[in-house]
Amino acid sequence: MSIVVAYTPDAYGQAALDHGAAEAVRRDTALVVVNATKGDALVDPRYAHDDQIAAITSDLEARGLDVTVRHEVVPDVAQAVLEVAQETDAALVVVGVRHRSPVGKALMGSVGQRILLDARCPVLAVKPDA
Amino acid sequence: MSQQHAAPAAPPAPEPTRHRVVDTAQYAMAAFLAVAGAYVVYNGTQLRGGMSADFLPPSTFAYVVGGVLLVLAVLLAVATARGDVAEAEEGEDVDLSSGTDVRTLGLLVAVLCVNVFLIEILGWAITGAILFTGAAWVLGSRHWVRDIALGVALSVGTFYAFYVGLGVPLPAGILNGVL
Amino acid sequence: MDLLLDGFATALTPSNLLFAVVGVLLGTAVGVLPGIGPAMTVALLLPVTYSVPADSALIMFAGIYYGGMYGGSTTSILLNTPGESSSVITALEGNKMAKNGRAAQALATAAIGSFVAGTIGTVLLIVLAPTVGPLVVQLGAPSYFAIMLLALFAVTVVLGASKLRGFIALFLGLAIGLVGMTSGQPRMTFGFAELSDGIEIVVVAVAIFALGEALWVAAHLRRKPLEIIPVGQPWMSKADWGRSWKPWLRGTAFGFPFGALPAGGAEVPTFLSYVTERRLSKHPEEFGKGAIEGVAGPEAANNASAAGTLLPMLALGLPTTATAAVILVAFESYGLQPGPQFMAQNEALVWALLASLFVANTLLLVLNLPLAPVWAKLLQIPRPYLYAGILFFATLGAYAAGTSSFDLGLLLVLGVLGFAMRRFGVPVLPLIIGVILGPRLEEQLSEALEISRGDYGTLVGEPVAIAAYVVMAALLVGLVVARVRSSRSTTPTSVTEKDEVNA
């Protein structure tokens, strides 16, 4: 059993991480943090630096959690999160969701939406505090 | 790395660990140079001397260039056999550690070929869009809607920009009259 | 002076100012974008020469040239990935500064240093061009032939690690230059009527710089995103100014003369500037950890050499960098032939170009200081679009050059050659310069022999020609000495040593 967090190094990812960590403490399960990129641009702001990953890992471990971080380059980010959820027999997937216009969604696609629709387990969609 | 500090009387540094790597693909480059050089020289022999007032017959440059190309082909082949390895070009977006992606290269060339053969039949507005969308697909994009929209916008946009702005008519092809 | 004011009058018309802004923005953008450099951009923009007036197009290309230099340094600093060989040195200290939280200062000293160097370089150009002009007009065909030979030889021998590959590129270029009708008969046309006018240089430039490069990068794409250092508005403290201004001036002093030499380029002066600053610095301990002098000097050298490059290009028609070579192609598509007569016959155009360099330089500073964070965003463009776009515009440019699909086939063949050259480490610059200068070499030789009624002795009958051959011989001797010396040491692969190159 695990709780999977789809993480990005921004306010949305932080919110997901905070809620995921709280859930993991409450349910006493392992926490799996996924931060992936398609790697199709020279720079991807949603892909965390190695030292950011190290920082959140040590922070979560200090809180006594059993943390695994999946930090990788994948063909499809949503797919990668879903696969990790399947693999680790996730009880819950936590995603941060942002507002997007319909046009933006059609053009850019939405990782959060695909996770919501395709996950086989409950999904917790969170927003950063306003 | 150079062993400058070693005593001059010392025996030459043994290098049994440095096994010789032969870049066999480089022989193909040498062969290409040889063929090119041979053709240039052969072509030179086919040229008439030129007019009598011509002090520099058109074949002279052909002989010089072709001859040097042949020499260079030999030198490259020898260098290759002696373990000379090409230093492939680096770049800010280039990762040389994983070798050449032949599939991507071949598919891109195929997409370009499609354009060469169809541009005058189908017209630039169509083949240009195919070119862009196809290349984006080969390079890993899977957003069909966005890819096609961008391709069509670019090809139709450039069609009009060249026609109206630069006065260069690109082929309209089967859309002749529509555009 | 009046001529320069007339030049400013041309450069500052609203439409030309707009072309300058477009050029500077475009140049910086492509300098920042991975896989595209200023040479490729100018090559892709060659179709504009079909209808845009010559002065406007050249003003835009000057903006691209200067802007590309600046954009390249931005990525060197923020990402440690120097795209152009000229910004390799900048990355050494610039990226270290950025990692220490001094990205804003590194970008500022690069931008202001580029401005200072570019301005001084342009002044030097304006002072020197009228002096050089009358001198080169007197050059006879034998001298001109010798100088072109020297330029070809120097570009091939001085730049790049492998001389053999340099010569391979040069002679492939010369072979391409042979194609076409000569003395009323087809040479190297493979029986194609389309080739009887020779291969369109635009097609060669686009194929080698754009298509070959795009194919090469596409087949070796980096997958893991790079770590970018976030950046705000560039600025410098008083102490940074104090540490920067001398390196700027020294860098300019290194850059301009090297740019003006036949085998110029920016690699040697940026390296020299770096070494000098490290030696003179009051903070030598900071070098290797982010010393501002190590960014200021090389960046100034880099831009000053770009200005210097324009001197041989305008005065003699000799391009010494890839971008200058492509700009020369643009001149030729206007039917303009830079060379001894060019400056005298096209005074208005030359002065407009020189004036526009000032304009471009100033625009660069005004636009780029506030825009730095925007440029950093460009790095997020997905690669499929970037490279699909390059292929698209390369095809378009080549087709527009002759409006025939034959040219597109040629583009593909030469593009694959460009790919192979990158695979085998064959430099592309000697090839394109060979294509441009080959036919002119033949023309000058033919003219010289015509005047001397076939006597080859005429080739060494002029002092300038003799001087050029002496320099070539000296280069050759230096090369052989370097070879012997390096083969005596136990590392046979290190053929190029910077110090020997400068000898």
pLDDT band per the 50, 70, 90 thresholds, residue C490 = very low
Per-residue pLDDT reduced to its tens digit, C248-295: 999 999 999 988 887 667 788 888 899 899 888 888 888 888 889 999
Tell me which amino acid residue B18 is: R
Q: What's residue C297's pLDDT? A: 92
End-to-end Cα distance, chain A: 32
Q: Which residue of chain C comes nearest to B24, CA vs CA?
A: C424
DSSP string, C120-172: HHHHHHHHHHHHHHHHHHT--HHHHHHHHHHHHHHHHHHSSS-HHHHHHHHHH
Interchain CB contact of A129 with B (< 8 Å): no
At residue B156 the predicted structure's pLDDT band, cuts being 50, 70 and 90, is very high
Q: How confident is the model at residue C66 (pLDDT cuts 50, 70, 90)?
A: confident
Nearest-by-CA chain C residue for A42: C225
Report the chain B residue with the minimal C-alpha distance to residue A104. B146
Tell me how crowded residue A63 is: count the other CB atoms within 10 A of its CB.
12
d(CA C40, CA B92): 15
Q: Which domain holds residue A50?
A: 2-126
Among B7-21, B124-138, C68-82, the minimum mean pLDDT is found in B7-21
Q: Which chains touch B (3 or more CB pairs under 8 A)?
A: A, C
What is the mean pLDDT of the segment spanning C341-369? 85
What DSSP element (H or E) covers B76? helix B58-81
In chain A, % of residues over pLDDT 70: 94
- pLDDT above 90 (res C337): no
Q: How close does chain C come to B174, measured CA to CA in Å?
A: 16
Handedness of CA C160, C161, C167, C173 (dihedral sign): negative
C31 and B CB contact within 8 Å? no
What's the pLDDT at B8?
39
User: Which of the residues C77, C383, C385, C387 would you substitute to probe the A interface, choosing the one with the greatest number of A C-beta atoms within 10 Å?
Assistant: C383
User: Residues C34-49: what's their mean pLDDT?
Assistant: 81
Joined tokens for residue C501? 């190159």
pLDDT of B169 higher than 50: yes
pLDDT attached to residue C162: 84
Supply the ipTM of this predicted assembly.
0.85
- C-contacting chains (≥3 CB pairs under 8 Å): A, B
The answer to whether the beta carbons of residues A124 and A18 sit under 8 Å apart is: no
B135-149, C22-36, C247-261, C290-304: segment of lowest average pLDDT = C22-36
Between C58 and C226, the more confident residue is C58
What does the DSSP 8-state code read for residue A33?
E
Rounded Cα–Cα distance for residues C351 and C126 (Å): 8
Please tell me which of the candidates A40, A107, A109 has its beta carbon nearest to residue B140.
A40
Whether C502 has a pLDDT exceeding 80, the answer reads no
Q: Using DSSP bridges, classify how beta strands C180-182 and C185-187 pair: parallel, antiparallel or unpaired.
A: antiparallel
Burial class (CB in 10 A: 0-12, 13-18, 19+), C131: exposed
Beta-strand pair A90-96/A2-6: parallel
pTM over 0.90: no
- Residues of C near A (CB-CB distance < 8 A)? 34, 79, 81, 222-228, 376, 379-384
Residue B6 has pLDDT above 60, yes or no: no
Measured between beta carbons, the chain B residues lying within 8 angstroms of C31 are none
Pairwise CA distance, residues A98 & B83, whole Å: 57
Choice between A109 and C234, residue whose per-residue pLDDT is larger: C234
Q: Give the pLDDT mean for B127-142.
A: 91
- What's the pLDDT tens digit per position in C416-466? 999 999 999 898 889 988 998 888 898 889 888 888 888 888 888 888 889
Q: How many domains does chain A have?
A: 1
CA distance C298 to C45: 29
Asked whether the beta carbons of C438 and C446 are under 8 A apart, the reply is: no
**Would you call C181 helix, strand, or coil by DSSP?**
strand
As a whole number, mean pLDDT of residues C21-47 equals: 84
CA distances from residue C261 to A65, C255, C318, C439 in whole angstroms, order as listed: 65, 10, 10, 22
Give dist(CA C305, CA C143) in Å, integer.
25
* Rounded distance between C-alpha atoms, residue C411 and residue C407, angstroms: 6
Whether the predicted pLDDT of B1 surpasses 70? no
Which residues lie across from A32 on neighbouring strands?
A4, A68
Residues of B in contact with A106 (CB under 8 A): 145
Quote the mean pLDDT of chain C. 84
CATH, residue A33: 3.40.50.620
CB-nearest to A39 from C34, C224, C228 is: C224
Q: What percent of chain B has pLDDT over 70?
A: 84
- Residues C11-22 have pLDDT tens digits of 888 888 899 899
Alpha carbon of residue B40 to chain centroid: 20
Kindly determine whether residue B128 and residue C424, on different chains, have CB atoms separated by under 8 Å. Answer: no
Tell me the per-residue pLDDT of B22-72, one tens digit each, with 9 for 90 and over: 788 889 999 999 999 999 999 888 887 655 456 778 888 889 999 999 999
